[in-house]
């Protein structure tokens, strides 16, 4: 197919732009390929018109789907998500009314985070302090041991003289 300049390879139809726009582009390419093949074949014009009508309908359906999904995404990303309470039972409405608000939940979470951070800092300080105390205790035991050895050596040296 490389030697025919006006015809694309079939694999190039699917390597175009991604997403819904890519699907629309692919449909337009298929439509143009159909026009190319219809002019060179013995297909009737009614078949071609049916296919063109079907293809336009599919493009319209894809565009409608794209718009609907885009609208849904915009609603999901909106700042104020509101629960439709008309579908809830009376018990569920009372539960929602008595429940905590998002702001109080966030405030409790922040206070918990602060308390946890304080605890971690205090724990690290106490662990470091305990490590210093253990080190100093070992040093004092070594000094006491060295002092006792030195006094024993002095006693033995003084008795030998």
pTM: 0.36
Nearby residues of 22 by Cβ (< 8 Å), 6 or more positions away: 16
Specify the pLDDT at position 24: 57
CB 96 within 8 A of CB 85: yes
Specify the pLDDT at position 75: 80
Which residue, among 79, 84, 118, has the nearest Cα to 102 in the 3D structure? 79
Of 121 and 32, the structure prediction assigns the larger pLDDT to: 121
Average pLDDT in the 11-37 region?
53
Average pLDDT in the 82-92 region?
81
């Amino acid at each position: 197919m490389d030697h025919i300049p006006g015809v694309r390879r079939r694999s190039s139809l699917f390597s175009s732009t991604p997403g819904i726009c890519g699907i629309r582009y692919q449909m337009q390419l298929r439509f143009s390929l159909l026009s190319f093949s219809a002019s060179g074949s013995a297909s009737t014009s009614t078949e071609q018109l049916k296919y063109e009508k079907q293809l336009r309908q599919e493009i319209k359906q894809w565009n409608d789907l794209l718009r609907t999904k885009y609208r849904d995404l915009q609603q999901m990303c909106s700042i104020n998500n509101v629960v439709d309470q008309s579908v809830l039972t009376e018990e569920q409405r009372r539960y929602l009314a008595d429940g905590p608000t998002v702001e109080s939940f966030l405030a409790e979470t922040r206070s918990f985070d602060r308390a946890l951070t304080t605890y971690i800092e205090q724990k690290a300080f106490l662990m470091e302090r305990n490590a210093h105390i253990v080190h100093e205790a070992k040093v004092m035991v070594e000094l006491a041991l060295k002092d006792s050895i030195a006094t024993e050596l002095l006693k033995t040296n003084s008795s030998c003289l």
